[in-house]
Amino acid sequence: MEFSTITTRGGDEGVSSLASGERRPKDDLVFEVLGDLDELVSWLGVLKASLAGSEFRLSDVLEEIQRRLFVLGAQVASVGKGDHRRSVSPDDVEELEKEEADLLRKIPPLRGFVLPGENLASGYADLARAVCRRVERSLVRYIRERGMTDLAEGQRYLNRLSDYLFVLARYLGGGRSVPVTT
């Protein structure tokens, strides 16, 4: 896909195009989901950049996650056409589960609350997790309101991704948790 220009002025009237060329209002639920996904991919990029030079393997994992989220975005933008060259798959979900399990083996068991921001990288992971949960909520609403059941695997992926990001934040923060006090 090549873009010879970015500014088209097509959105000046409050509408935007989907992958099919169909025009919809910019406040349509589909664009909310796509915007939330875009924000998540961006925060994952910030997290990845914060690891530059130290956690090469994690940077690769985060880049692969960003790629899966682009695939999910393409599915959402296709509005149920079902003719995706690639879609988020059960294998993608399983890979996230494996990555999470690998990190869990490297940190102590959770013994209380986790306060975000043990260091910059763990704080970025926590922020990405919170955004991921928002993306999941907007995608669930989109699936339910529009009957987009072909996106169910993407919703599962987002659910696992928020778990992975929680564990990643703990790993990057040294596995620390704060005892529960009442």
Q: Give me the DSSP letters along 123-163.
A: HHHHHHHHHHHHHHHHHHHHHHHHT-GGGHHHHHHHHHHHH
Q: Can you give the pLDDT at residue 10?
A: 64
Q: What is the pLDDT of residue 176?
A: 74
Task: Identify the CATH homologous superfamily for domain 25-79+87-177.
Answer: Cobalamin adenosyltransferase-like (1.20.1200.10)
Confidence of residue 118 (pLDDT cuts 50, 70, 90): confident
Q: What is the dihedral of CA 62, 66, 68, 72, to 10 degrees?
A: 150
Q: What is the mean pLDDT of residues 110-123?
A: 87
Confidence check: pLDDT of 76 > 60: yes
Average pLDDT score over residue span 117-133: 95
Tell me the longest C-alpha to C-alpha distance in the chain: 60
What is the predicted pLDDT for the residue at 143?
Answer: 96
**Dihedral sign for Cα atoms in the order 95, 87, 158, 52:** positive
Give the residue, 55 or 132, on which the prediction is more confident. Answer: 132
Of 8-12, 25-29, 67-71, 76-80, the one with minimum mean pLDDT is 8-12
User: In terms of pTM, does the model score above 0.85?
Assistant: yes
The 10 Å Cβ neighbour count of residue 99 is 20
DSSP 108: P
pLDDT higher at 130 or 16: 130
Alpha-carbon distance values, 137 to 30, 36, 134 (Å): 13, 10, 5
Torsion angle of C-alpha atoms 77, 78, 84, 85, degrees rounded to 10? -60
pLDDT at 54: 81
Dihedral of CA atoms 32, 170, 124, 67 in degrees, nearest 10, equals -60
Q: What is the pLDDT of residue 84?
A: 56
Is 178 strand, coil or helix? strand
Question: 71 and 87 in contact (C-beta within 8 Å)?
Answer: yes
